[in-house]
Amino acid sequence: MIKYLVFDVDNTLIDFDMSLIRAEKAIAYRFGLQLSEDYFIKAAEMINAAWSEHQMSNTDDPDIQNEWHRRYRNFLLHHY
């Protein structure tokens, strides 16, 4: 049973780029994929660009915070 959940979308507590790269490396390894370090760095850059493109990167903005909370609540309701 999950008692607590930490929600951090702005690199305050966790370095998301490094976490993303580590997770992608683990998945690639599990499936036997040999991908270069450059691949993982470019993938993280593309994800960050998508956040900016969809105007979701300014996590200090109350409207964006509300939107993220709405999406997160929907995710939890759907999956738990």
The domain locations on the chain are 16-79
The angle at the Cα of 49, spanning 45 to 54, to the nearest 5 degrees, equals: 155
Q: Where are the alpha helices (DSSP H) in 31-79?
A: 37-53, 62-79
In single-letter form, the type of residue at position 56 comes to M
pTM above 0.75, yes or no: no
The pLDDT, as a whole number, for residue 32 is 92
Percent of the chain having pLDDT more than 70? Answer: 92
